[in-house]
Structure formats: structure tokens, C-alpha cells
Amino acid sequence: MSRRVPAVLVLQDGRTFHGEAYGHVGQTVGEAVFSTGMTGYQETLTDPSYHRQVVVMTAPHVGNTGYNDEDQESARIWVAGYVVRDPARVPSNWRSRRSLAEELDAQGVVGISGVDTRALTRHLRERGAMKVGIFSGPAADQPAADLLAAVTGAPDMVGTDLASLVSTDESYVVPAVGERRFSVTAVDLGIKSMTPHRLAERGIEVTVVPSTVTLEQVLTSGPDGGAPDGVFFSNGPGDPAAATHEIEVLQGVLERRIPFFGICYGNQLLGRALGYGTYKLKYGHRGINQPVMDLATRKVEVTAHNHGFAVEGTAGEVRDTPYGRAEVSHVGLNDGVVEGLRCLDAPAFSVQYHPEAAAGPHDASYLFDRFVDLMDGTPAAQLVDDQGETDTTEKDA
């Protein structure tokens, strides 16, 4: 049995939890957030939206399926740190290649186990997301005042633009599955690998471009050197108010009436492009079990979330924008947070969650079909019919 290494978790407000090192031994700081997903920890770890965040798993037993080479959502683990209560002693899954602890160690991710994650989660729900540090090995032997100083000195999430740190450096193409029907330029703000795959399944050739892309480059990114049939903005980390460049590009897309679909961070950027404000949530939504209502159909979807910021607004609200009328189209049922926007006079819509859902539910996969209909000429205001049913074929991709 390997030697157990003491570790300590220190929150910004001074509360401390003791445990054992899990993964790499050392120290790390970031924003403490909790994820309520019961499965899919590998997809969570490799989601670029978690950059600079220390993820607390509310599921008590983590690592039982080990780590494989197929379920990556990007080329690396992005979390700043990892907190679990009861790590699996031995992984058991036919696809497992190594243990989760071994992969965390190999990628230099500092974690802690043996922590009362229920108490920690309740603390974050009551006090809100805050800075945190994990210290193990010699780093844990530092004076308590020094540990707290390291935590409080960590960068703030508010006002931070992180998309360029997680985005691709060079453009690449994901070819359409079968006959190519449309071309879409996907701006990588921290995109998960499953997203362009879901688009490709619908006959869409996807050109993934860096977050630094200019409007002129977007307008010439189609297969023939012209404008693409649609533009997509992905999920990603950071404060949407700081993403001024991406917002300006999106406003140019809206002015030219190019069909647009955004998810997660892309939803927040559409909101700001339309003139909505954004704000930081107290503790955010993270997990694969979040209920959302599509206000047009009144259907409730179980959805996958990862966001600490949200768009200001109320359920069903319609307002005038520089690009025509826009409405709040989806709302979270736990707390009433805006979970989707839809332009009524321009071909654009967005949701705050992950319709590609890897891992997670597939309730929202119909949104990719709505995007196809938008590019096929269906006006945004008619994507849902008068009876409150979608006019697209909902399919589980």
C-alpha cells in the first residue's frame, strides 16, 4: 500500500479541511466550486470551462471506472484542483487504462481526498463560491497564515478573460458525417470535443477557430472562402463582461443576419451583444442533473451545466435590442436563472447549458436540430409552432 500523504484544504474565509493527497503532491489555488454530477468525472476534468477552478465532487465515491483514452473532452485536464470524499481503491471498467489518481498525478493536478465534501458543499452554498487552496506534502507544513495568504492572493474570477488561454491555437475542420448540408464556423472559447461531433452528425462541416478570430476571418471561413452558413460560440471559462473582442465579433455576425447558436459562455456573450447585463452567481450551476424549462414548449429538460455567471433577465421577458426583439426563452427551475435567449427578428438563439451532454442527459439534443432549421431558412420566431411543440424532430444523438 502506498504511503498516505497529509493534505489540507484552506478556504478564503479561513475554514480548513484536512485529508490526504489525491493525485499530484504539491499546492494549487483557484476558485472553489462544486459539481453535482454522479457520473462523468472524466468529462468534467477535461472540460476547459473549469480552468482555474478547484472542483468539489458532491458524489461521495469517485474514480470507480478509472481513466480511459476515449472520454476526453479536450487534450488535457483543466481543473486547478480536485476534491473527493472517498476515492476508489481499485478501478473496475473494461475501458480503464489507469486509475484516476494516476492520471491526476501524471498531469500535475493537486487533489485531496478524505474530505467531508457534504459539509464543504453546504459551506459554499451558504457563503458562495470563493478562493481555495489545496496543500499536500511539504507544502502542507507551512504556517497557517502563509497558506491563507496564498489563497487570498489568487486571481479573482470576476473581470478575468480566460477564453484565449484555453482556445485552440490554430483552426481545424471537423468534416460532416455523410453529405455536407451546411458549413459552420465554431469559435472555440473552451469547446468540448463532443460539440463539433454533434454538429457533424447533422451534415454540418465545422471549422473550429481560435477565440482571437476577427470578424473578417469569420466572414471568409466558409468552404468557398465566403461566409459560413452559421456561426457557433462554445462554452468557456471567465467573466463574459471581459470578453469584449468576442462580443464585437458576435455583433458583426448579428448585423449580417448570419444564423447563430451559442451555448454556455456563448449564451452569456449573446446576452451582452444584445445589451443584457451579466452577473456572477453565488455558487453557480455545475452538474448533469439541472432542470430547465423551455418556455415556448413548457417542456422540462434535465440538462448538463457548468457556469458561474448568468444573464440578467426574467422568464418570458421580451425586450428591444439593436438587432430587433429578443426574449428569455429558457429558465432554470431551481432558482429562476436565465438559461436561454432567442432573437425574434434575427436568426440567433442560445442556451446556458450543454446540449451535447457528454457525459449527461440528451434531453436538449433537439437544439442542434433547431440550429439546422435556422440555417435552412426557418425564421427564429417560427422555430416553435403555435401549439407549443417544436417543429423539428427531436432525436437522441
Q: Which of 29-43, 295-309, 345-359 has the least mean pLDDT?
A: 345-359
The pTM is what?
A: 0.93
Same domain as 32, residue 115: yes
Mean pLDDT of the chain: 93
Q: Are residues 237 and 256 in the same domain?
A: yes
User: What CATH number does residue 305 fall under?
Assistant: 3.40.50.880
State residue 395's pLDDT score: 35
The per-residue pLDDT for range 167-217, each reduced to its tens digit, is 999 999 999 999 999 999 999 999 999 999 999 999 999 999 999 999 999
3-state secondary structure string across 252-288? HHHHCCCCEEEECHHHHHHHHHHCCCEEEEEEEEEEE
Q: What is the pLDDT of residue 363?
A: 82
- 178 part of a folded domain: yes
Of 152, 180, 201, the last residue of a domain is: 152
Annotated binding site for L-glutamine: 49, 236, 238, 268, 306, 308-309
Q: Is the pLDDT of residue 132 over 90?
A: yes
Q: Strands, E, within 125-196: which ranges? A: 130-136, 172-174, 182-187
Q: Which residues are catalytic?
A: 264, 354, 356
Do the Cβ atoms of 327 and 280 come closer than 8 Å?
no
Is residue 394 situated within a structural domain?
Answer: no
pLDDT at 127: 97
Asked if residues 304 and 235 have their Cβ atoms less than 8 Å apart, the reply is no
* Cα–Cα dist 20/343, whole Å: 50
Clarify whether residues 115 and 199 are in a common domain.
Answer: no
Does one domain contain both 219 and 135?
no
Give the pLDDT band of residue 270 (cuts 50, 70, 90): very high
The domain of 104 spans: 6-152
Picking from 106, 129, 152, the residue at the C-terminal end of a domain is: 152
| pLDDT at res. 359 | 63
Segment 120-130 shows an average pLDDT of 97
Is a pLDDT exceeding 70 seen at residue 46?
Answer: yes
| Residue 381, pLDDT score | 67
Rounded mean pLDDT of 85-96? 95
Domain membership flag for residue 133:
yes
Quote the CA–CA distance of 229 and 99 in Å, as a whole number.
43
Residue 395 within a domain: no
Same domain, 139 and 249: no
Nearest CA to 73 out of 105, 101, 40 is that of 40
On the CB side of 278, CA atoms within 13 Å amount to 29
Encode pLDDT of 137-170 as tens digits: 999 999 999 999 999 999 999 999 999 999 999 9
Q: Which amino acids are annotated as binding site, given as ranges?
A: 49, 236, 238, 268, 306, 308-309
Say if residue 104's pLDDT is above 60.
yes
* 116 in the same domain as 71: yes
Dihedral angle over CA of 175, 180, 184, 185, nearest 10: 40
Average pLDDT over residues 360-382: 85
Grid coordinates representing 139 are 507544502
Contacts of 2 (CB under 8 A, 6+ apart): none
Shared domain for 17 and 136, answered yes or no, is yes
- Phi/psi of residue 112, each to 5°? -145, 140
What pLDDT was estimated at residue 2? Answer: 54
CATH code of the domain covering residue 69: 3.50.30.20
Over the stretch 233-249, which tens digit does the pLDDT of each residue have?
999 999 999 999 999 99
20 and 75 within one domain: yes
Q: What is the average pLDDT across 131-138?
A: 98
Give the span between the Cα atoms of 108 and 22, in whole angstroms.
11
- Check whether residue 136 and residue 23 sit in a common domain: yes
Res 387 pLDDT > 50 = no
- What's the pLDDT tens digit per position in 282-328? 999 999 889 999 999 999 999 999 999 999 999 989 999 999 999 99
Residue 389 lies in a domain: no
| Closest C-alpha among 293, 302, 379, 392 to residue 343 | 379
Residue 357, pLDDT score: 66
125 and 224 inside one domain: no
Which of the four pLDDT bands, split at 50, 70 and 90, describes residue 392? very low
Q: State whether 137 and 99 are in the same domain.
A: yes
Examine the fold and report which residue of 132, 152, 172 is the final residue of a domain before the chain moves on. 152
User: Total domain count for the chain?
Assistant: 2
Q: Which residue has the higher pLDDT, 122 or 359?
A: 122
- Burial profile 205-230: b = 16 or more Cβ within 10 angstroms, e = fewer: bbbbbbbebebeebbebbeeeebbbb
- Going by C-alpha positions, the residue among 150, 145, 3, 144 that lies closest to residue 80 is 150
Instruction: Report yes or no on 262 lying in a domain.
Output: yes
Q: Residues 150-155: contacts with CB within 8 Å, 24+ apart?
A: 150/27, 150/29, 151/10, 151/11, 151/12, 151/29, 152/12, 153/29, 154/29, 154/30, 154/31, 155/52
Q: How confident is the model at residue 360 (pLDDT cuts 50, 70, 90)?
A: low
Q: Does residue 128 fall inside a structural domain?
A: yes
- Is residue 396 scored above 70 in pLDDT? no
Give 392 or 17, the one with higher predicted confidence: 17
28 and 81 in a common domain = yes
